[in-house]
Amino acid sequence: MGSSSRFLRLSIGVITAIFLIVGFVTPPFAADMDGVMMSNGKMMMMKAGRPATAMDNAVTLSDGTIVSVDGTVKSRDGNEFHLHNGEMIMMDGHLMKGGKPAPMSQ
């Protein structure tokens, strides 16, 4: 086996690893963002990254978190906080601030 074929296999492996790593740390695209968001003091349902409708009742997320119409968030373990303008919670329970993931501890 020649050194050029080893170099080619190594290069392909490194490039593949880079793409895998970038894929795991890249935030979701706006089109993938379904959740709820505090916008100008009102809670809005978000579909594909865009405001769809105003919330008219509490929403239970897939992780058991409950988000109230006034922006109060109560996690399954009992922690409670209030969303501020621009904060969004994805339907899987991940908190987003300014389009970036953020920890839930408030």
- Strongest mean pLDDT among 8-17, 59-68, 94-103: 59-68
Euclidean distance between the first and the last CA atom of the chain, given in angstroms as a whole number: 58
pLDDT in tens, 13-70: 777 666 656 555 445 554 467 899 998 889 999 888 777 889 999 999 999 999 999 9
pLDDT of residue 67: 95
Q: Measured between alpha carbons, how far is residue 69 from residues 37, 59, 65 in Å?
A: 10, 8, 13
Q: What are phi and psi of 61, to 5 degrees?
A: -85, 170
Q: Are 15 and 28 in contact (CB under 8 A)?
A: no
pTM: 0.63
pLDDT of residue 31: 47
